[in-house]
Amino acid sequence: MKKENWYSLLILTFIFMSILLLRADLVLGEEEEQIDDAYECLINIITNRTCQSITNEQRIFSLLAVNRCKNEVISDSFNDKECWPAGHCTLKTTSQAVLALKNVGENTEKAEEWLFSQKGVPQEVIWYLQIDSQEPSTCVITYGSESQPGSYYSVQINEDKKISSSAGVGSCLQVSTSGYWLEITRSLQCMEQNFMISCNKSFTTTLLFSQVDSSTIHVSQELHSSQQGGMTEEKVESYCFVEDGPCNYEGSLWAALALNSLGEDVSSYLPYLITLSGDSDKERFIPDSFLFSITSSLDYKTSLLSKQINNQYWALSGDRYYDTALALLPFQSQSLPEKDNSKTWLLSVQENSGCWWGNDLTNTAFILASIWPREFSGGSGGGGSNNYCQLSGYHCVQSGNCVDYGGEVLDDYYCSGFSSECCTAPRPPENCVADLEGEICTSNEYCRNGSSVSSDDSTRCCINGGTCTLQTSTTSECVSEGGVCRILDCGSNEESNSIYECTNPTDLCCFPKTDSEEKESLIWLWIFLVLVVLVTLGIIFKDKLRRFFIKPKSGPRGPPRGPTRFGPGFRPRPGPRPSGYPPNLSSRNSQNRFPQKSRPSFERRVIPNPPSNPRRNTLTRVGKSGSDKELDDVLKKLKEMGN
């Protein structure tokens, strides 16, 4: 390949890569600029309104997002950071204050103790003791208190697995309505009992729980077995956080999240949170977000992401901005398609001021703290700005997962957000087949009898026993209007439409794009094509273009005669010699008037034109050069420069 062709190929490659990088930089730069505007808008609102005049909630979220109003948050507390607000402490406000203060490195031990002191027994959850044996057997159950130690009760396990007791099972147990289990009395005294079970045959014991008036039974993860004459022990640990008497579900969610982020064990509160998470009146609190943050269970992640509306936002409580920030809270240190979709939507509805929803302080701060968290300038967490986790070479992972990843939690290092912890090990890749034991579905397939989730290698990972099944073409409102029903998301040249419905209610109705995004993409394509054409033409006609750029703008062309004092490229043209002009001025060999010199010498004279054109004047070079060889060398160098 010729050298010139190599140059051409390199130029085309450079232009192509420049276009791609420029487009990517513009997109990323535009997003970064919009987030800068959002932070600036939030700080301006706080500055203009002042921390003294905004509400307790706004102060907490200001501290959470931009490290402002810390002194005012502390002054709002009862008994110096014990609980919030000082007038009437609540679980939700106290928990949010704990999260915000923890995020800036403040001590929150008194608040943690106050939250744990609000422990109560949920009356909405029923607990059962199950005793299972492969053959009929007689079992003895022992439990008691300090006043009545060693109380024991005999029960019979029948051949049909049902339990019977002629003498009763005491004040804390009773045979359930179905007859297969022993129901545990819902009181703090009974919930703290240790139940010791021994049978004359091999047996297994475990605990079950369910919501009142619900047929759904949850099985405890712990199963205990023993041989004939052996003994097992079961203890119910099921609590909630109470507020003004009964359990408060939303407050319990926030309290469990706050304590879990501080490394506290909140497993005994999970049965209550899990059992009531399916209630229709509890969905507005988005419990899946809290439960996934605490347990990292894939079931809650799948359920949470499936509730995203139009691949844009969440709106379970009616507030799209607050709900979206809350739903994406567990994914502060992760990247996934649903989060990217919400980012795109939020940036598209961002106001000119930089904030969201009419310059709403709380929502703007929550969105930034949850989705675009930043390290505080001048603030610190866990040891100062030199101890930021990622800047120090470590990894911010979801709270409670570091040990599972084979790492060690670094308490002295700080991670942005309040559902992350600093870990010596990164989050391992989550592949669909290898890690989730799922199946990757194509764009024309849907996950049948299972759940479709996003993994690191696919956005259509079919899990929970589902199979990828070919999507059948059925007539629907969307299709009849000219749209296409998609399983998970629309194509790159499509946009979702929430007006028309698909046969499968979980599918998206997609229509071809007609907005400015498609036009913008076409503009960039045309710009690229024009640049390619121009470069190609320049390569083909490079010789002609070179002569065009180096030729003189006026006067006839001719070989250069060497440099002059009038500048490079000056080519004077001798005009007609009028009568009376001294003949010896044009002689190169004259020795009288122009003696020989080492360098040519020139004069500039204005010679009048012949009478036929009296208005025209011509510049003429006169003089005598040095040797012919010197002139030839100059001409040769000028020719090489031209090539």
pLDDT digits (tens, 9 = 90+) for 71-83: 999 999 999 999 9
Sign for the CA dihedral angle at 557, 558, 560, 566 comes to: negative
Assess whether 174 and 232 both reside in one domain: yes
Question: Does residue 431 fall inside a structural domain?
Answer: no
Question: Does residue 339 fall inside a structural domain?
Answer: yes
pLDDT, position 385 = 42
pLDDT, position 431 = 86
Assess whether 136 and 277 both reside in one domain: no
Contact 512, 484 (CB under 8 A): no
Contact 106, 185 (CB under 8 A): no
* Pairwise CA distance, residues 420 & 339, whole Å: 17
pLDDT tens-digit map of 71-119:
999 999 999 999 999 989 999 999 999 999 988 889 999 999 999 999 9
pLDDT tens-digit map of 236-253:
888 999 999 899 999 999
Question: Does residue 505 fall inside a structural domain?
Answer: no
Question: Does residue 358 fall inside a structural domain?
Answer: yes
Contact 208, 197 (CB under 8 A): no
Who has greater pLDDT, 7 or 440? 440
Question: Does residue 272 fall inside a structural domain?
Answer: yes
Assess whether 149 and 231 both reside in one domain: yes
Q: Which residue has tokens 């809350």?
A: 326
| Average pLDDT value for residue range 454-469 | 83
pLDDT, position 402 = 85
> What does the H/E/C string look like for 303-372?
HHHHCCECCCECCCCCCHHHHHHHHCHHHCCCCCHHHHHHHHHHHHHCCCCCCCCCCCHHHHHHHHHHHC
DSSP state of 378: S
Q: Of 213, 238, 263, which one is at a domain's C-terminal end?
A: 238
Q: At what angle do helices 337-349 and 361-371 cross, to 10 degrees?
A: 150
Shortest CA distance to 129 belongs to which of 55, 193, 80, 69?
Answer: 193
Question: Does residue 23 fall inside a structural domain?
Answer: no
Assess whether 254 and 363 both reside in one domain: yes
| Average pLDDT value for residue range 27-41 | 87
| Average pLDDT value for residue range 197-215 | 92
pLDDT, position 251 = 98
Q: Which domain holds residue 395?
A: 385-423
Q: Of 238, 258, 289, which one is at a domain's C-terminal end?
A: 238
Assess whether 249 and 115 both reside in one domain: yes
Res 643 pLDDT > 80: no
Assess whether 115 and 127 both reside in one domain: no
Question: Does residue 34 fall inside a structural domain?
Answer: no
pLDDT, position 262 = 87
Q: Of 186, 205, 238, which one is at a domain's C-terminal end?
A: 238
Lowest mean pLDDT among 46-50, 116-120, 214-218, 451-455: 451-455
Who has greater pLDDT, 15 or 571? 15
Instruction: State the pLDDT confidence band at 332, using cuts at 50, 70 and 90.
Output: confident
Res 475 pLDDT > 60: no
> How much is the mean pLDDT over the chain?
79
Res 484 pLDDT > 50: yes
Question: Does residue 273 fall inside a structural domain?
Answer: yes
Assess whether 105 and 254 both reside in one domain: yes
Res 586 pLDDT > 50: no
Q: Is 597 helix (H, G, I), strand (E, B) or coil?
A: coil
CB count within 10 Å of CB 522 equals: 10
